Structure 1
Amino acid sequence: MTTAEPGSPAGEFDLGALLAERGAERYELHTRHLNHQLPRMLHTIGFDKVYERAEGAYFWDTDGNDYLDMLAGFGVMGLGRHHPVVRRALHDVLDAQLADLTRFDCPPLPGLLAERLLTHSPHLDRVFFANSGTEAVETALKFARYATGKPRVLYCAHAFHGLTTGSLSVNGEDGFRDGFAPLLPDTAVPLGDLDALARELKKGDVAALIVEPIQGKGVHATPPGYLRAAQELLRRHKALLIADEVQTGLGRTGDFYAYQHEDGVEPDLVCVAKALSGGYVPVGATIGKEWIFKKVYSSIDRVLVHSASFGGNAQAMAAGLAVLSVMENEQIVANARATGDQLRSRLAALVDKYELLADVRGRGLMIGIEFGKPKSLKLRSRWTMLQAARKGLFAQMVVVPLLQRHRILTQVSGDHLEVIKLIPPLVVGESEVDRFMDAFTAVMDDAHSGSGLMWDFGKTLVKQAVANR
């Protein structure tokens, strides 16, 4: 039973007291009431930490140790945690006691945020606000199919666009799709393969191609010229280009949108979410051309044909406006470009030094570090052992000591991938680059020594992988 703060009415909800009393039960609560495999997984790899607070690009545990965040909540925390401008905007909008979500008025905040978003994609005209990236994708799929009158949506192999039924239909990873069929009519084409795209378009039933300018799974960018050539093919066949910028948008790659790295690319629909609210409030947006929106909302009778109960809510809109203001005033996009170039070039310089390091790629502060089969016999035998148990274990072996020994949070970039993805908050700078480089070099040195705690942990992962087969 929680108690109220001194001087507060008896029985009043007290969040601080509740967390003080029950916060230590966090892992037990998840085991009993939520996804029970999550705490099990975190315990297995030693990620079952207790973080007490966070600010900017750092967490702190109960002992006061700081942890560098190179994950940004899967890209949600573009400005880091608890940016003061975004916090103030949320306090202000709550204090304003606005008549929010009446559903039968036109509040100013959604219109103002739409106006600001559209300045970054001047070839587009209108915005639909939802609550997440997957909802933004669902909107784009529905709009594309309705506007073109065609049923089929193309996507690229290994793509990730969300996990609801529609977005799952354009998800290129079988592990997410297994057991959830039947899905929407869809077809995967290899990333960058224009001939495969042309063959599918000739069938005449394709509504759109949805594509991540840089795929989150494995951090693979579309080849130079691909987006523009694909756009021309799609237009020829009266199909649409949908750019999924949920992770790559809002400055992540060193331009406001990743498709803007290629001249002449003007998607018909663009999906954004994640960093748009600074990580505070769920939000998503589908930005599109005038004719598409006017076809979907073609009459007064169709005014609510596609809507979202919480879409455009005042808290999300205020946060979004604050985020865009910060991005402009603090030159966030320029920092992502400069810091990302610095980090990527320093990592790329290590490829010739470490035989287990195969490639470094990406744009801005979206960087993939890929590991590969070594040449030396001693390391090759260990690598082969890991691969036989489960592909992706070596990358996990790197991620774990980065956290446990160097207090840096990273992630493996996808199931069965030997790739680490770095997507830190866009506010990181030279000191964070130095800290990561020192830690990563130390982990690589340990891995190439052929002994030590890292390979001992590898044996633990092998046993776990075999047990889960």
Structure 2
Amino acid sequence: MKDDGPKGFDLAQLLAERGAERYELHAKYLNHQLPRMLHTIGFDRVYERAEGAHFWDADGNDYLDMLAGFGVMGLGRHHPVVRKALHDVMDASLADLTRFDCQPLPGLLAEKLLTHSPHLDRVFFGNSGTEAVETALKFARYATGKPRILYCTHAFHGLTAGSLSVNGESGFRDGFAPLLPDTAVELGDLDALRRELRRGDVAALVVEPIQGKGVHEAPPGYLRAAQELLQRHKALLIADEVQTGLGRTGDFYAYQHEEGVEPDLVCVAKALSGGYVPVGATLGKDWIFRRVYSSMDRVLVHSASFGSNAQAMAAGLAVLAVMEDEATVANARRTGDLLRERLAALTGRYELLHEIRGRGLMIGIEFGRPSSLKLRSRWTMLQAARKGLFAQMVVVPLLQKHRILTQVSGDHLEVIKLIPPLVIGEPEVDRFVTAFTAVMDDAHSGGGLMWDFGKTLVKQAVAGR
């Protein structure tokens, strides 16, 4: 009998044979509630390929991505420069992750990242945004010798035990206590910050310059004033730029919209690798790193097994090069301004449309109680069942009727968050505004499939209680 040798692994064949089982496999082996939820709201689509800001299904229909994988796909999917960098680094067969040498790529990426925040000096590379936050929390506590971290209500900083301790949404925290010693303060409330700092045990305040949950921006002057208070009490300012950084808000970092703000630690992740490789980074001041890594005995006191791996570092360098070459930050600012202005012009036309807010290509669309009796009664019905159902009623037809993927900004929030790839332009703005206008017209007509779907959501919400 002829021996054909080892068969190897054929990814294309595996996907061809079993790709159609995707929802069944997930339901059986992963989070069984995800396919159930997707089926309920009609999001159980099958996407075959993606490029830039678009997906395509098996029938060749294109979908506009206004979600960017929760902000990971800053340059869109499969950017050719980033893709080539990953092929090149794998072809180079580098002696990666030996752990007892110093490879060039981490140093080069750190050097490049730090040019965008010249008041910072050093970088720790991990594998995610939550690891970047965990690093900042540990470094702040060790460097200051104080235990307590302040965070803002409604904040989101991750879901591991440390980052969960500074998560402002109780739904994420419930059942996972006890967590780290912490205290929540309202975003913008300097008096509350001052009171907590007077206790003398605060290591740091961690803050998103624009909160992802609800798209709420820190009030003008707050970050600068908070920084001054923290410095006075020998505590640190940690800027969580995991979602807002790397051009998302029309500046490289969102904290840079306010003059004079220089955080002690900055957390970045998500878009840093172009969506290809998990990566996170914590940027900080030299004295903080020197205090943590105070001797050769402490050289591995904080590390990550896959941190600084060659694929992530090469992808990060390629992403930063593309951002410079293609003026990505300027495009995010210009396109974001256009999209926000076009949407804001609709607020006077639709009574259910309450406010448009955000910066760059991080935009919140908030809905609110209508004035007319007919719409008000329907709104009240939805609110009584579960707050946030109307926003979901908008998200669903945007996908089902207009093939545009968006998300509700958070649990129980009547806010849609738009965080598309930073490469979109005027054609995508036109497509979204046209579709959104059609959905709003349908909602304000007082009938149609949208409100019928609302009844389905109400039944699901009541049944889930």
1:18 to 2:14 alignment: yes
Shift of 1:171: 0.1
- RMSD over equivalenced CA pairs, Å: 0.6
> How much does 1:12 deviate?
1.2
Tell me which amino acid in the other structure corresponds to 1:335: N
| Counterpart amino acid of residue 323 in structure 2 | M
Pair 1:406 & 2:405 matched = no
Q: What is the DSSP-based 3-state SS (H/G/I as helix, E as strand, rest coil) of the residue aligned with 1:381?
A: helix
Alpha-carbon deviation of 1:368? 0.0
1: distance between equivalents of 2:417 and 2:143?
36
- Would you identify which runs of 4 or more consecutive aligned residues in structure 1 move more than 3 Å? none
Matches within 5 A, 1:82-93: 82-93=78-89
Asked if 1:247 corresponds to 2:243, the answer is yes
Alpha-carbon shift at residue 11 of structure 1 (Å): 1.8
1:44 to 32, 40, 45: 40
Q: SS of the residue aligned with 1:102?
A: coil
Q: Distance in 1 between matches of 2:139 and 2:209?
A: 20
Aligned counterpart for 1:55 among listed residues 51, 58, 66: 51
- Structure 1 position 226, deviation (Å): 0.2
Query: What is the CA–CA distance in structure 1 between the aligned matches of 2:296 and 2:286, rounded to whole Å?
Result: 17
Is 2:445 the partner of 1:449? yes
Write the distance in 2 (CA, Å) between the matches of 1:232 and 1:437: 41
Count of equivalent residues: 462
Alignment counterpart, residue 29 of structure 1, candidates 25, 30, 54: 25
Shift of residue 50, structure 1, vs aligned partner: 0.2
Q: CA deviation at 1:10?
A: 4.5
Extract unaligned runs of 5+ from structure 1: 1-7
> What's the TM-score, normalizing by structure 1?
0.98
Which residue identity lines up with residue 173 of structure 1 in the other structure?
E
1:184 corresponds to 2:180:
yes
Distance 1:434 1:348 in 2: 14
2:211 alignment partner in structure 1: 215
Amino acid at match of 2:155: A
> Which 5+ residue runs of structure 2 have no aligned equivalent?
none
Distance in 1 separating the partners of 2:187 and 2:372: 33
State the secondary structure of the residue aligned to 1:328: helix
- Quote the residue 1:366 is aligned against: 362
Secondary structure at the counterpart of residue 238 of structure 2: strand
Secondary structure of 1:139's match?
helix
Distance 1:188 1:134 in 2: 18
Q: Percent identity at matched positions?
A: 87
Give the structure 1 partner of residue 455 of structure 2: 459
In structure 1, what is the Cα distance between the partners aligned to 2:205 and 2:458?
39
1:9 deviates by: 5.2
Equivalent of residue 339 in structure 2, options 322, 335, 343? 343
Separation of aligned partners in 1, 2:329 and 2:228: 29
Q: Deviations over 1:208-249 (max 9, x none)?
A: 000000000000000000000000000000000000000000
Q: Which one of the candidate residues 250, 273, 280 is aligned to 1:284?
A: 280
Residue among 134, 143, 147 paired with 1:147? 143
1:68 CA drift (Å): 0.1
Secondary structure of the 2:55 match is strand
Q: Distance in 1 between matches of 2:332 and 2:186?
A: 29
2:98 match: 102
| Alpha-carbon distance in structure 2 between the residues aligned to 1:105 and 1:253 | 37
Residue of structure 1 aligned with 2:432, choices 429, 432, 436: 436
Q: What is the correspondence of 1:117-196 to structure 2 with a 5 Å cutoff?
A: 117-196=113-192
Match of 1:235 among 225, 228, 231: 231
User: 3-state SS of the aligned residue for 1:420?
Assistant: strand
Give the aligned partner of residue 70 of structure 1.
66
**2:11 and 2:107 mapped to 1: Cα distance?**
34
Report Cα offsets for 1:299-352 as digits up to 9, x if no partner.
000000000000000000000000000000000000000000000011001001
CA deviation map 1:256-291 (0-9, x unaligned): 000000000000000000000000000000000000
Name the amino acid aligned to 1:161: H
C-alpha deviation, 1:357, in angstroms: 0.1
TM-score normalized by the length of structure 2: 0.99
Counterpart secondary structure, 2:304:
coil
Corresponding residue for residue 303 of structure 2 = 307
> For residues 334 and 6 of structure 2, what CA distance do their matches in structure 1 show?
54
